Amino acid sequence: MAAPMELSCWGGDWGLPSLHPESLTVMAYAKFSGAPLTVNTINNSWSTPKADVPVLISEDTVISQPAKILNFLRKQRYNADYELSAKQGADTLAYIALLEEKLLPALLHTFWVEAENYCSVTKPWFASRIPFPLSLYLPGKMSREALNRILLTRGGPPLYSLTEVEAQIYRDAKECLNLLSKRLGTSQFFFGNTPTTLDAFVFGFLAPVYKVCFPRVQLQEHLKQLTNLCRFCDDILTCYFKLTITDG
Amino acid sequence: MSLVAEAFMNQLAAAEPWPENAALYQQLKEDQILLSDNAASLAVQAFLQMCNLPVRVVCRANAEYMSPSGKVPFIHVGNQVVSELGPIVQFVKAKGHSLSDGLDEVQKAEMKAYMELVNNMLLTAELYLQWCDDVTVEEITHPRYGSPYPWPLNRILSYQKQWEIRRKMKAIGWAGKSLEQVLEDVDQCCQALSQRLGTQPYFFNKQPTELDALVFGHLFTILTTQLITDELSEKVKNYGNLTAFCRRIEQQYFEGHDKDGSAAASARSAKRSLLR
């Protein structure tokens, strides 16, 4: 518990502490559970890790995926799910699976595959934070991986063209957002008045869609109609990240 | 498919009642079908039994290629062909039968979330075990998958499928997992399902829904299929309420049906044929 913990992750913009959904999830969980993390955003130096971000380094342990990082934090007694019942813990896993299956493809598409968004926003932003000449290669690689993932998981028959796959994944994402909105209802967080792991994951996935200004924004427009989800993101930003909403 | 095409399909579906000769296609029970496909097929059979819709199970070696989406099982109803549980549930709903109408919005969201959990963790773990664990691949999957075809077609088809599945595993980040980690994930998933089920007879108390059908399909298949080791089924057996749940659904919906399509008989014969 006394060992200092360092988190390397992508930085933020548009009022967010990070643009990367997984980095944002880990940062939000750390705030909710009170874990003292030093956050190092990836910058132009060569010493910060670029692959498998976010990465948590604590003494000699290096941990790389959000689920594993959260498990590690829980073992160190930083547990945001302390007051949840067994059923609520099960619900957490189920909703996280829903996010990964239904929302993540559309999120990846909006950031990395949609040509206008990628060329005018995502690529310049990430390239400016990666040292040359890696900045010429790494954003392209991330974009190809995103497209690969979308096509391999959602692109089989009877959907034969990329436009059909896109239509399907956006439809699924909008349905997922509607389901989340119904589940949240009027409460402040998903399980009562204190934020938990599920809130961290939902915030991590929703906030980039909500805040980043893209040219093509169909998902953002749908999200803005679900006012309780927007209120949820804004509450977490003002309470836990102490950034003003009007930035960017 | 596009919204217009979907609406059109729904209209066609709604026009006719459920016929007597509806058929469900899967691969050959004894020699060919694999764990994940058997689970999917059993889930659809359970769902149709719960809706009281008669269907006969037809086994064909090329079922995967006949299916419109490349996945089994698929049903042939009237002159329409629909594959996989999700679209089949919607198709059946268009015909006026639904198991989840009585749920409120929050419960429907929960049901969808748990179905994604099963697909995300259990199905992916089954695929990993079948296609990425070298021992299982050599001893069970390759011999079974290509068994209806002559050499060298049988090896070519199964290598092709293995390559496809491994690509997918790599894309979603499961390629780097070890078998122990995958079994851990299965355990976590079963724990979540067990905690959600609690002491109720079904996931949404008194009435079964498509979630119950899906969970039954996967858990029953895991419990009754013999693989190289028993580790996978042991993970499920740790949770008594899940095994009781499977037994209850088997007794209520499958026993007393002595047709060839009986799920219990087919699963047990799969078990016998895997014993070496």
- Using CA atoms, how far apart are residues A171 and A155, in angstroms rounded to an integer? 14
- Using CA atoms, how far apart are residues B242 and B193, in angstroms rounded to an integer? 8
B95: its two tokens? 């015909």
Which positions in chain B touch A167 (Cβ < 8 Å)? 2
Burial class (CB within 10 angstroms; exposed 0-12, middle 13-18, buried 19+) of A165: buried
From the list A149, A157, A183, which residue is nearest B70 (CB)?
A: A157
Enumerate chain B positions whose Cβ falls within 8 A of a Cβ in A: 1-3, 68-71, 105-106, 108-110, 112-114, 116-117, 119-121, 167-168, 171-173, 188-189, 191-193, 195-196, 198
- Using CA atoms, how far apart are residues B173 and B100, in angstroms rounded to an integer? 33
- Using CA atoms, how far apart are residues B217 and B211, in angstroms rounded to an integer? 10
Beta bridge partners of A41: A9
Residues near A68 by beta carbon (within 8 Å), at least 6 away in sequence: none
pLDDT score, position A83:
86
> Within 10 Å of residue B11's Cβ, how many Cβ atoms?
10
With a cut of 70, say whether residue B270 has pLDDT above it: no
Which positions in chain A touch B172 (Cβ < 8 Å)? 149, 152-153
> Within 10 Å of residue B172's Cβ, how many Cβ atoms?
14
Among the residue ranges A25-29, A108-112, A243-247, the one predicted with the least confidence is A243-247
Grade residue A247 by pLDDT with cuts at 50, 70 and 90.
Answer: very low
Residues near B253 by beta carbon (within 8 Å), at least 6 away in sequence: B46, B49, B50
Residues near A133 by beta carbon (within 8 Å), at least 6 away in sequence: none
**What is residue B123's DSSP assignment?**
I
With a cut of 60, say whether residue B186 has pLDDT above it: yes
Task: Give the neighbor-by-neighbor strand order of the sheet with A5-9.
Answer: A37-41, A5-9, A55-58, A61-63
Which positions in chain A touch B113 (Cβ < 8 Å)? 91, 94-95, 97-98, 179
- Using CA atoms, how far apart are residues B237 and A55, in angstroms rounded to an integer? 36
> Could A87 and B173 be called an inter-chain contact, meaning their C-beta atoms sit closer than 8 Å?
no
CB-side exposure of A114: number of CA atoms within 13 Å?
22
The model's pLDDT over A52-84, given as tens digits with 9 standing for 90+, comes to 778 888 888 888 888 889 988 888 888 888 888
> Within 10 Å of residue B89's Cβ, how many Cβ atoms?
23
For residue B25, the SS3 value is strand
Mind listing the domains of chain B with CATH numbers? 3-99 (3.40.30.10), 105-254 (1.20.1050)
Which positions in chain B touch A98 (Cβ < 8 Å)? 112-113, 116-117
Residue count (chain A):
248
What's at B253, amino acid-wise? Answer: Y
> Could B172 and A87 be called an inter-chain contact, meaning their C-beta atoms sit closer than 8 Å?
no
Enumerate chain A positions whose Cβ falls within 8 A of a Cβ in B: 65, 86-87, 89-91, 93-95, 97-98, 100-102, 145, 148-149, 152-153, 156-159, 164, 167, 171, 179-180, 182-183, 185
Substitution target in B196, B205, B239, B241 with the highest count of A β-carbons within 10 Å is B196
The model's pLDDT over A118-160, given as tens digits with 9 standing for 90+, comes to 999 999 998 888 888 888 888 899 999 999 999 988 877 777 7
So what's the ipTM on this one? 0.89
The model's pLDDT over B78-136, given as tens digits with 9 standing for 90+, comes to 888 998 899 999 999 988 899 988 888 889 999 999 999 999 999 999 999 999 999 99
Substitution target in A81, A179, A184, A201 with the highest count of B β-carbons within 10 Å is A179
For residue A82, the SS3 value is coil
